[in-house]
Structure 1
Amino acid sequence: MREELTRSQPEPEPEPRPEPTAQSWRRIDWTKVGTIAAAIAGIGSLLFTGVATYYGARVSQDQLEQSRADTERASRAQAQRISYWEDRAQDSTLRAVHVMNRSPDPIADIFIRMTVGQGKGKRSAHVSLHRYNLAPCTVMTIQAESVLWRPTRESTWSKLTDAEGPTLVSALEFWDRDGQMWHRDPATLNHEFDPDPGAGYAKMAGVPPVQRATSCEDGRQ
């Protein structure tokens, strides 16, 4: 009977939590709360500043690299339009050298670097043929039979076509409109020219013919 009475008694309800009073709010140390909040805000500001600085540096670096690439591309603009090629007979004998300027500006102090064979058992001679300038949108043709050469200053002049070995055009060097000297060979275009490529000399008998190039940078024909 007691057990039944005990079971039938309702369980006591939980006491309600007291509402915070003005006194309890006053007990909070608002100075510490403000300090913590300021610290959190400062950390967030530092993180934002760090991220912004990082991306700003990346953008500046990309812009600098792009500017350098644009400058290099602009500096090579004319030099890329200067070219040369050889004209050979069926037996590979050099007949002529053509130098073309497809840019709208002249080039100056042109050096045609050649290697001339001197026969079996002898080293090839390195000679340079100099021309003063080449007008815009023109092609200069140098006939091999009109070129004289000598391996040293003390040697006598002889015809290039009478050389005992083959003649090869190794490079073309010139000054562009901006006063930069360029070295062009079959593989490269750069500023790494040789100020003293050899002791040989070459000269022309007469003036080489110059003709209008078939196409130019500015569209002239």
Structure 2
Amino acid sequence: MLAAVVAAAGLGVTAWGTLVSARVAEDQLAQSKVQSEERTRRQASRITFWTEPYTETTVIVNRSLDPANAFLVTETVNGAEGRGYGFIINLGTLPPCSQFRIDSDKLAEALPEKGREGLLDLRQTQLHIIDTYGQSWTRQDDGTLGSGLGVGAEPALTDPGELRDWWKDALSKSDPPDECGSNS
């Protein structure tokens, strides 16, 4: 009888140990998934944009140590009836540790004629990012970051030669952004 009680207790301890080991393994797996997602998002999380109030200047910042391709999605309000268009402006490659300021007038010049005709308002709604691993991301104007490409729109500039000429006039590079180093 004593042997049966000892055996049952041994089985109980073994079962409890197995259960605890399984929970530890699940926690480690969950932590590994979180770390993997953080590594995947690392570059895109360091690229952002905003429009400065009153000046209507769009600021695009790449705080990562890697270049990334970027596309700015704009929405227009045109004419008295307020019809709108969406356009994607190919910004090309954002160099590492860079900050650019784009005047709204220069952005308007980058739009096709139908986007400029009767232009009342121009708003930047998304920044599409393709990181160094080819992963696509979308930064919304409220700052949220999601994987994949967001809302589709009509391409405004797609020719790299035309884009380079536009960059010369539209962008003024400023000092590297804060928090852009090997430890960030």
- TM-score, normalisation: structure 1: 0.68
**Structure 1 segment 12-161 matched on structure 2, within 5 A:** 36-89=1-54, 94=56, 96-108=57-69, 110-146=70-106, 147-150=109-112, 156=113, 159=116
**Structure 1 segment 182-221 matched on structure 2, within 5 A:** 182-185=137-140, 186-194=142-150, 197-199=152-154, 201-202=156-157, 206-207=166-167, 208-218=171-181
Structure with the largest fraction of helix: 2
Quote the residue 1:170 is aligned against: 125
Identity percentage of aligned residues: 23
Deviations 1:75-123 (A, max 9, x none): 2222221111113546xxx3x3221111111112x11001100123243
**Counterpart of 1:104 in 2: which secondary structure?**
coil
In structure 1, runs of 5+ residues without a counterpart are 1-35, 151-155
Change in 2 beyond 3 A, CA 1:126/1:157:
closer
Q: C-alpha separation between the residues in 2 aligned to 1:212 and 1:133?
A: 17
1:184 CA drift (Å): 0.4
Highest relative contact order (Cα 8 Å, sep 6+), 1 or 2? 2
Does the CA contact (< 8 Å) of 1:83 and 1:100 recur in 2? yes
Q: C-alpha separation between the residues in 2 aligned to 1:179 and 1:44?
A: 55
Change in 2 beyond 3 A, CA 1:165/1:103:
same
Does the CA contact (< 8 Å) of 2:44 and 2:137 recur in 1? yes
Does the CA contact (< 8 Å) of 2:73 and 2:153 recur in 1? no
1:187 CA drift (Å): 4.2
Q: C-alpha separation between the residues in 1 aligned to 2:177 and 2:23?
A: 45
Quote the residue 1:21 is aligned against: none
- TM-score, normalisation: structure 2: 0.80
1:133 CA drift (Å): 0.3
Deviations 1:31-71 (A, max 9, x none): xxxxx343223211210111011111111111111111111
Change in 2 beyond 3 A, CA 1:218/1:187:
closer
Change in 2 beyond 3 A, CA 1:75/1:129:
same
Change in 2 beyond 3 A, CA 1:130/1:68:
same
Corresponding letter in the other structure for 1:82? I
Change in 2 beyond 3 A, CA 1:78/1:144:
same
Q: C-alpha separation between the residues in 1 aligned to 2:2 and 2:115?
A: 93
Deviations 1:112-171 (A, max 9, x none): 001100123243111110022011111122223233313xxxxx4665xx6432111101
1:202 CA drift (Å): 4.7
Does the CA contact (< 8 Å) of 1:125 and 1:200 recur in 2? no
